[in-house]
Amino acid sequence: MGLRNRRRAATPVPEPNLVPMMDVVVTILIFFVLASMAPKAKMIKNVALPSADKGKVEETLPDPLVIGINKQGQTMVENQPIDDLAMGQKVVEYLNKNAKGAVVLKADKGLQYEQVVKKLGVLRDVGGDRVSLALE
C-alpha cells in the first residue's frame, strides 16, 4: 500500500499547451503578410528638387565704423583724434550712408571703465542699437 500512495502523491509531468502559442504566431504571421501586400504609400515621382544655384544670395555687410579710445582717453576715428561733436556727425553720416552698417567702440584696456561707458552712451544716443563694444 505504501507504494501506491507514493505514485498518487507524485505530481504529474506538465504537458505544454501549444494552442495559445500557435494562435499568437499565426496572428503575427498574418499581420506581416497583410502589411507586405498592402499597397505602398503613394510614391512621389518627378519632383523638382531645389538647387543651390537658385538660392537666396546673402548680401555682404559693410565694414563697421571703428571708433577707438587710446590710453590718454582721446577718441580716434581712422587714426585721427576727434571730439565728441565731430564723432557724432561722423557716426550719423556713416549710418545714413550704410543702412546695415554698425559702429564698434574699441577702447584701450588700461582705461577706466567709466570713460568707456560714457563714450558708449554718447554713441548709443546717436546710433541706437547698431552700436557695440569690441572685446578681446
Tens digits of residue pLDDT in 83-95: 888 888 898 898 8
Domain membership flag for residue 9: no
**Average pLDDT for residues 43-55, to the nearest whole number?**
69
Domain membership flag for residue 11: no
What SS3 state is found at 75? strand
| Cell numbers that stand for 58 in this block | 546673402
Phi-psi region of 85 (alpha: psi -120 to 50; beta: other; left: phi over 0): alpha
5 band by pLDDT with thresholds 50, 70 and 90: low
Looking up residue 70, the CATH number of its domain turns out to be 3.30.420.270
Domain membership flag for residue 60: no
Domain ranges, residue 75: 65-133
Domain membership flag for residue 129: yes
Q: pLDDT: is 53 or 117 the higher one?
A: 117
Say how far apart CA 130 and CA 124 lie, in whole Å.
8
Domain membership flag for residue 16: no
**Residue 4 predicted with pLDDT over 90:** no
Domain membership flag for residue 84: yes
- The count of structural domains within the chain is 1
Q: Let me know: does 60 contact 48? Beta carbons within 8 Å.
A: no
Domain membership flag for residue 104: yes
